[in-house]
Chains A and B, each alone.
Chain A
Amino acid sequence: MFGRKKGGSETKANIYELLESNYHTIVKKWIDKVYDSYPEDGAKFLRNKKDPFANPVGFRITRGIEGLVKELITEEPSEGVEEFLDSILRVRAVQDFVPGDAVAFIFELKKVIREVLAKQLRDNIRLMEELLDVETKIDRLALLAFDIYMGCREKLFQLKVEEIKKRPFLQLEGVSCPSAALSLRQMKTLREQLNLVGSRRDSEQQGH
């Protein structure tokens, strides 16, 4: 109860060693939180206690989360990070999230770590300082995640435009420019789908 036994030796370990020894718990808790971010009738429904991987969505999430935690506990993360983030965010980009919610799961990791290491962190200033270092990394991860998420959304948008461009009626009706062919209605919906907060891109599109 009061940090007998292993507690003494573990507090000597640095934060990365602690994270490593708690790797599985962290992964599991973090995956749980990712699932929690899904609406009731979304991918959450696929969560199955015994086998959280039983679907490609879960597969990508698991692959991504495991990879990210591994990257985090090695002190020098590699480019692998992007691949793992991509694994998760490419899925979230086609699910019903607003951008903030889509990447919010990254910050959950902070909470998970603090929960898992609560005992060791208590009264240990050195660890706390090291933790701040880790959390800075997580913040950077979040920024990167946002970039990747936006990259996916832009890709989707670009794919839509490409398909619209390919539509034969454009040629038939003598319209060569996709944005001109889009009725206002479609334009409105596309914009909603883009979930863009700012209007920068919109004005670019219309100026086309």
Chain B
Amino acid sequence: MAAKTPKPQELLQIDHRPPREWWMDRKVVFKPGTWCYAGRPENVKALDLPFPREWSPDEEDWKLPDNWKEIVLETFRDRLHKFRSLKVFMDICVRCGACADKCHYFIGSGDPKNMPVLRAELLRSIYRGEFTKAGQILGRLAGGRKLTYDVIKEWFYYFFQCTECRRCSVFCPYGIDTAEITMIARELLLEIGININWIMGPVANSFRTGNHMGLLPHTFKDNIEFLCEDIYDITGIKIEPTFNRKGAEILFITPSADVFAEPGIYTCMGYLLLFHYLDLDYTWSTYASEGGNFGLFTSHEMMKRLNAKMYAEAKRLGVKWILGGECGHMWRVIHQYMNTLNGPADFLEVPVSPITGTRFEHAKATKMIHILEFISDLIYHDKLNLDPSRNDHLVVTHHDSCNPVRAMGFIQEPRHVIKSVCNNFYEMPENTIYAETFCCGSGAGLNTDEFMEMRMRGGLPRANAVDYVHKKYGVNRMTAICAIDRAVLPTLMNYWVPGVSISGVCELVGNALVMPGEKPRDIDLRQEPLVRPTAEMPSEDESDV
């Protein structure tokens, strides 16, 4: 494509349907709003990653090392040896196209290279062109091409336009997971010093201070205490959580965004209220103060480096098991990677709820359970005094976050809790929820403002579905069990569907939980009035789909 968008007039004068160049012939043009800033050298250096330097993707020269090509091919070979997934996925795609229109970025942008199959072909074509005989001899006729500077740029552009959401994988007849391919492609790029700052920054912070936000121990504590003050103002309940306390029964870890950023802080207030209500013997940690793990978006190694803190801290504090807050990619790491990477966790015990005595057998090796599993168990055993009418000012829908659903199968737990704490719940249309949920469009480290246009495009399918329930049922609140969702969906909604706010499930729990000794509540955790439902409630009742 030319650097300038052709004017409609120009298109009309020439034949406006020129033969389309094939994708291998197209070079990437870096348009504003569709790519992220390069990693700052100080962050890259802090992590001992290769080739820290000042560079920018929109410049001609990326200042790559001289032997970038060898490094990439060598790493590629190495990853083929290490990951059967990669090998098999490189070989067996039949290009049936079942995945093509399943990616939110393709749906929202129409850019053909955002079809998962083509995104993967970007890598596959190099695999064929450099590593297979047919590709080396026949080149394009065998679907192969050589690794060039432009290919690297193309990789950067498109592998940082994939949110690793795995929606494509659900529909592929062989389960080819473009997220896995993206993860490995990003590793190849990392080896020649190509990365983005929105990932490098949080990773560097997390490595040093324990959390993405870079909160120092005292700030972390201050923030939680600040939330406790708000809770006191709202409910009259005084909460004094403990930090880094040895001998606690449970270590609680949640994304640091919950401690710091709106609207996550309201979810955090929900946690605090609940733990106080239960008089739970738990502690926060300032060292393992991050549930999320942007290492997942960097490399398998970085994921391990950051994740190591959780077990290390659990061991140091001598807790029995770990409880995890609401977060998407955090749970992908905990559920599918943590025990493999940093286990075995034989110094911990199988999680047992101190209130109900339930043994969480399904987590008996990793020894960490999700807060909603924990709460669902409490509700099932009727241990919570809940007043769902305190959420009557909200008409709620639930956004299934990609990772918990497609890398774990976390579907009914949040719904059980939501339906127990609020009276107005409506599902979004079928095929946009559960395993087929649409991504927020900003996951996998792409939730930065310079990527805004692309985020809005990628979020369009999700927004469309919200728009539907917003118009039909008057939905004004969407819950999401993911810290990235809570950070980016407000923006998305603000643009496409104004009038829908975002929260975690535990915020609703916090609203509904009747605390012993609380003062009469007339405001919710956001200090907004608890307005009773208005007369014009829609009549259809399809909440339990």
A57 engages B110 (CB within 8 Å): yes
A193 within 8 A of partner (CB): yes
Question: B214 contacts which of A55, A96, A98, A172 (Cβ < 8 Å)?
Answer: A172
A128 within 8 A of partner (CB): no
Contacts A94-B33, A101-B7, A166-B261 known; A56 to B108 CB distance under 8 Å?
yes
Docked Cα-Cα span, A98 to B214, in Å, equals: 38
A33 within 8 A of partner (CB): yes
B81 within 8 A of partner (CB): no
Docked Cα-Cα span, A33 to B7, in Å, equals: 11
Q: Contact mask B427-461 → A, CB, 8 Å, 1/0?
A: 00000000000000000000011101110110011
Nearest opposing residue in chain A for B451, CB measure: A160
Question: A36 contacts which of B16, B214, B449, B456 (Cβ < 8 Å)?
Answer: B16
A39 within 8 A of partner (CB): yes
Contacts of B215 in A (CB 8 A): 168, 172
Question: B219 contacts which of A97, A105, A172, A192 (Cβ < 8 Å)?
Answer: A172
A36 engages B12 (CB within 8 Å): yes
B353 within 8 A of partner (CB): no
Question: B112 contacts which of A41, A96, A160, A168 (Cβ < 8 Å)?
Answer: A41
Docked Cα-Cα span, A104 to B74, in Å, equals: 49
B534 within 8 A of partner (CB): no
A150 within 8 A of partner (CB): no
The interface stretch among A6-14, A43-51, A73-81 is A43-51
B8 engages A39 (CB within 8 Å): no
CB distance from B385 to the nearest CB of A (A): 34
Question: B495 contacts which of A33, A159, A172 (Cβ < 8 Å)?
Answer: A159
Question: A156 contacts which of B8, B214, B452, B460 (Cβ < 8 Å)?
Answer: B452
Nearest opposing residue in chain A for B2, CB measure: A39
Contacts A40-B1, A155-B495, A168-B261 known; A95 to B453 CB distance under 8 Å?
yes
Question: B109 contacts which of A33, A40, A43, A97 (Cβ < 8 Å)?
Answer: A43
Nearest opposing residue in chain B for A54, CB measure: B101
Contacts A37-B8, A56-B461, A105-B8 known; A160 to B449 CB distance under 8 Å?
yes
B111 engages A56 (CB within 8 Å): no
Residue with the greatest number of chain B CB neighbours at <10 A, chosen from A36, A168, A192 = A168
CB distance from B342 to the nearest CB of A (A): 27
A90 within 8 A of partner (CB): yes
Contacts A104-B8, A168-B214 known; A159 to B20 CB distance under 8 Å?
no
Nearest opposing residue in chain B for A172, CB measure: B214
Contacts A57-B108, A57-B460, A193-B453 known; A90 to B495 CB distance under 8 Å?
yes
Q: Contact mask A144-182 → B, CB, 8 Å, 1/0?
A: 000000001001100110111010110010000000000
Nearest opposing residue in chain B for A160, CB measure: B449
Contacts A46-B110, A172-B214 known; A162 to B491 CB distance under 8 Å?
yes
B110 engages A42 (CB within 8 Å): yes
Question: A39 contacts which of B1, B101, B450, B496 (Cβ < 8 Å)?
Answer: B1
A104 engages B452 (CB within 8 Å): no
Docked Cα-Cα span, A192 to B58, in Å, equals: 12
Nearest opposing residue in chain A for B26, CB measure: A41
Contacts A94-B453, A101-B7, A108-B8 known; A159 to B26 CB distance under 8 Å?
no
A95 engages B457 (CB within 8 Å): yes
B264-312 residues at the A interface, CB under 8 angstroms? none
Question: A96 contacts which of B7, B16, B31, B449 (Cβ < 8 Å)?
Answer: B31
Docked Cα-Cα span, A44 to B450, in Å, equals: 24
B110 engages A156 (CB within 8 Å): no
Contacts of B1 in A (CB 8 A): 39-41
Q: Contact mask B466-509 → A, CB, 8 Å, 1/0?
A: 00000000000000000000010001001110000000000000
Residue with the greatest number of chain A CB neighbours at <10 A, chosen from B26, B101, B112, B449 = B449
Contacts A39-B5, A168-B213 known; A45 to B110 CB distance under 8 Å?
yes
B153 within 8 A of partner (CB): no
Docked Cα-Cα span, A46 to B111, in Å, equals: 9
A203 within 8 A of partner (CB): no
Docked Cα-Cα span, A105 to B8, in Å, equals: 8
Question: A159 contacts which of B16, B214, B261, B452 (Cβ < 8 Å)?
Answer: B452
Contacts of A166 in B (CB 8 A): 261-262, 487
B111 engages A156 (CB within 8 Å): no
A169 engages B453 (CB within 8 Å): no
A38 within 8 A of partner (CB): yes
B450 engages A186 (CB within 8 Å): yes
Docked Cα-Cα span, A40 to B6, in Å, equals: 10
A44 engages B452 (CB within 8 Å): no
Q: Contact mask A116-158 → B, CB, 8 Å, 1/0?
A: 0000000000000000000000000000000000001001100
A189 within 8 A of partner (CB): yes
CB distance from B518 to the nearest CB of A (A): 30
Contacts of B160 in A (CB 8 A): none
Docked Cα-Cα span, A108 to B7, in Å, equals: 12
Docked Cα-Cα span, A169 to B40, in Å, equals: 15
B204-218 residues at the A interface, CB under 8 angstroms? 213-215
B1-55 residues at the A interface, CB under 8 angstroms? 1, 5-9, 11-12, 16, 18, 20-21, 26, 31-34, 37
A96 engages B8 (CB within 8 Å): no
Interface pairs (17), CB distance under 8 Å: A36-B11, A41-B110, A41-B111, A43-B110, A44-B110, A54-B101, A55-B107, A56-B464, A94-B456, A96-B34, A159-B449, A159-B452, A159-B494, A159-B495, A166-B261, A166-B487, A168-B261
A56-B461, A169-B214, A193-B32 known; 7 new pairs, CB 8 Å cut-off, are: A43-B109, A56-B107, A98-B5, A101-B7, A101-B8, A166-B261, A166-B262
B residues with a Cβ closer than 8 A to A are 1, 5-9, 11-12, 16, 18, 20-21, 26, 31-34, 37, 56, 101, 107-113, 213-215, 219, 260-262, 448-450, 452-454, 456-457, 460-461, 464, 487, 491, 494-496
**In the complex, the 8 A-B pairs of residues with the closest C-beta atoms, listed nearest first:** A43-B110, A160-B449, A94-B456, A168-B213, A37-B8, A193-B32, A46-B110, A94-B453
